[in-house]
Amino acid sequence: MKKRVEVCLSPRDFDLYSEGFEIIVVIDVLRATSAICAGLANGVKSIIPVDSIEKALEYKNKGYLVGAERKGQVVEGFDFGNSPYSFMDPKFKDKEIVLTTTNGTKAIEISKYSGQVIIGSLVNLEALTSWLIKQNKNVLCLCSGWQDKFNLEDSICAGAIADILIFSGNFYSEEDSTICVKQLYKEAKKSPFAFLKASSHRRRLKKLNLNKDIKYCLTPNQLNVIPYLKKNELVSLNEEESLF
Amino acid sequence: MKKRVEVCLSPRDFDLYSEGFEIIVVIDVLRATSAICAGLANGVKSIIPVDSIEKALEYKNKGYLVGAERKGQVVEGFDFGNSPYSFMDPKFKDKEIVLTTTNGTKAIEISKYSGQVIIGSLVNLEALTSWLIKQNKNVLCLCSGWQDKFNLEDSICAGAIADILIFSGNFYSEEDSTICVKQLYKEAKKSPFAFLKASSHRRRLKKLNLNKDIKYCLTPNQLNVIPYLKKNELVSLNEEESLF
């Protein structure tokens, strides 16, 4: 029997969509989930996502390396934000690090009670979808959005995942939100950069001189990594490991 | 200076988008706002939208003709639901009638404190957009959705309104939600029926044998009517009348 793949457009809608999925793919393309993929692919041991500055500070006081981002910028007093390039720093290798971001870590927090959290982004799209197709489980893609609003880049990534899963023949979808993002992806894949030129968050980051980050985050299929939530830490799935 | 047009994808997101708009266009293509247009274009004097069955019953006990729809069906004990054809009944001519529906009347209720409520649908698309272009006001399109979820038909109608307004040269938009629905409309206008074939609400109504209603509601530019909220009643705007 076919499994279901659906898309929830923002964390605020999660309760409307969350029932009946074994896997929740959390997506925050610009930049949290891209940075998490970059970190784990580059030897970071684990990333502890926390949803508030307060919790992040507690870890910092215990001596952890802690990243904190709000509204696209590193929060004062913290070591780094959510730039994927920070996560590739050799000093992070084999370390347990902590991260809080505006949208992505909040989305992880709300979804962890509903199913197995997996981290998705354009950078690990191919690895992720190949793995999802083999699992034979119902998959919900949760777009982190921007402060609870719909955003284009997460929706396009979710549309790509849904499209690839349905194309495999093993999945179906029913929701209008899923039809919508598949359509966006169909249009965007011709030229993702051109399509996203007008996106509100890309404009926001461009103002902050983050063009190098944007380019990294919007380049698909660079990393063969599947980060997943194991208790309260994000770690990289080994090839032989089975989650179910 | 250009005015702004944006789109809010569901009533649940209204607080995220509602600030700074003089006009709120409430859209519930299948079927509330199409039925309201049909009624007022066919001589109904006014339609009082109410957001609960209880309020609707109070009016019924006072002797009003009252329509009530929940989940696509007429609520037991009421005179009619939200089929546009009910509203064309000659017995409704010159009458004040009352209506409560699953999504549309709720969207009217939440938006009436933020700006002038105008009723939009595909059936009055051309009349509505011509009028909006002349007003020189900021316009927010509010999609009624389906029980707070995103839906395709309202999004496509909102995308059409945004696209036509921006194409006039008098409007701009900034939100990702607006880019998204403009893209959906661009795809859907090639063949609205084919595009909406898979939509969840169309499937829902088809099961209830409402194909005739669906066809009516998805046929653009049939009615030269602009319903607006005047105190607590929806009435048809006269050509000479100015709301601002």
Neighboring chain B residues of A148 at a CB cutoff of 8 Å: 13, 16
Residue B149 lies in a domain: yes
Which DSSP symbol is given to A237?
Answer: P
Which DSSP symbol is given to B142?
Answer: E
**Domain containing B61: what range?**
3-229
Within chain B, how many helices (H) and strands (E) appear? 10, 11
Backbone angles phi, psi at A237, to 5 degrees: -75, 130
Between the CA of residue A33 and those of A38, A67, A96, A128, what are the distances in Å? 9, 13, 16, 12
Contacts of B73 (CB under 8 A, 6+ apart): B81, B208
The Cα A101–Cα A117 span in angstroms is 17
Q: Which of B147, B174, B179 to mutate to test the interface with A (most CBs of A within 10 A)?
A: B179
Residue A241 lies in a domain: no
On the CB side of B102, how many CA atoms lie within 13 Å of its CA?
20
Q: What is the pLDDT of residues A149-169, one digit of tens each?
A: 999 999 999 999 999 999 999
Query: What percent of chain B is helix, strand and coil (3-state, nearest 5)?
Result: 40, 20, 35
Q: Find out whether A170 and A3 touch, Cβ atoms under 8 Å.
A: yes
Identify the closest residue of chain A to B14 by CA–CA distance: A149
Q: Which of residues 200-239 of A touch B (CB under 8 A)?
A: 200-201
Task: With CB atoms and an 8 Å threshold, state whether B13 touches A10.
Answer: yes
- Return the pLDDT at B98: 97
Residue B105 lies in a domain: yes
Residue B46 lies in a domain: yes
A151 touching chain B per CB within 8 A? yes
Identify the closest residue of chain A to B10 by CA–CA distance: A13
How does B196-231 read in b/e, with b if 16+ C-beta sit within 10 Å? Answer: beebbbbeebeeeebeebbebbbebebbebbbbbee
Nearest to B56 by CA among B37, B80, B40: B80
- Return the pLDDT at B173: 96
Within chain A, how many helices (H) and strands (E) appear? 10, 11
Nearest to A43 by CA among A120, A4, A81, A96: A96
Contacts of A86 (CB under 8 A, 6+ apart): A35, A67, A80
Residue A80 lies in a domain: yes
Residue B23 lies in a domain: yes
| CATH code, domain carrying A9 | 3.90.1560.10
- Counted domains in chain B: 1
A13 touching chain B per CB within 8 A? yes
Q: pTM score, two decimals? A: 0.96
- Return the pLDDT at B194: 80
Q: What is the pLDDT of residues A231-243, one digit of tens each?
A: 999 999 998 889 9
Q: Find out whether B97 and B47 touch, Cβ atoms under 8 Å.
A: yes
A154 touching chain B per CB within 8 A? no
Q: Find out whether A99 and A67 touch, Cβ atoms under 8 Å.
A: yes
Residue B234 lies in a domain: no
Rounded (5°) CA angle A130-A135-A141:
75
Task: With CB atoms and an 8 Å threshold, state whether A16 touches B149.
Answer: yes
How does B111-133 read in b/e, with b if 16+ C-beta sit within 10 Å? Answer: bbebbbbbbbbbbbbbbbbebbb
A132 touching chain B per CB within 8 A? no
- Return the pLDDT at B16: 97
- Return the pLDDT at A47: 98
Residue A36: what residue type? I
Task: With CB atoms and an 8 Å threshold, state whether B176 touches A147.
Answer: no
Neighboring chain B residues of A13 at a CB cutoff of 8 Å: 10, 12, 148-150
Task: With CB atoms and an 8 Å threshold, state whether A198 touches B183.
Answer: no
Neighboring chain A residues of B187 at a CB cutoff of 8 Å: 183, 187
B12 touching chain A per CB within 8 A? yes
Nearest to B101 by CA among B182, B173, B33: B33
- Return the pLDDT at A220: 94
Identify the closest residue of chain B to A151 by CA–CA distance: B176
A94 backbone φψ class: left, alpha, beta (φ>0; ψ -120 to 50): left
State the CB neighbour count (10 A cutoff) for residue B178: 28
- Return the pLDDT at A206: 77
Q: Which of A12, A28, A150, A175 to mutate to test the interface with B (most CBs of B within 10 A)?
A: A150
Which structure tokens are listed for A201? 């968050």
Mean pLDDT by 10 residues, chain B (244 residues): 97 97 97 97 97 96 95 93 94 96 94 97 98 97 96 96 98 96 93 79 78 92 98 93 92
Task: With CB atoms and an 8 Å threshold, state whether A180 touches B180.
Answer: yes
Neighboring chain A residues of B146 at a CB cutoff of 8 Å: 176
Residue B12 lies in a domain: yes
Q: Which of B143, B146, B150, B202 to mutate to test the interface with A (most CBs of A within 10 A)?
A: B150
Task: With CB atoms and an 8 Å threshold, state whether A13 touches B16.
Answer: no
A69 touching chain B per CB within 8 A? no
Spans in chain A with pLDDT lower than 70: none
A10 touching chain B per CB within 8 A? yes
Who among B147, B155, B201 is closest to A180 (CB)?
B155
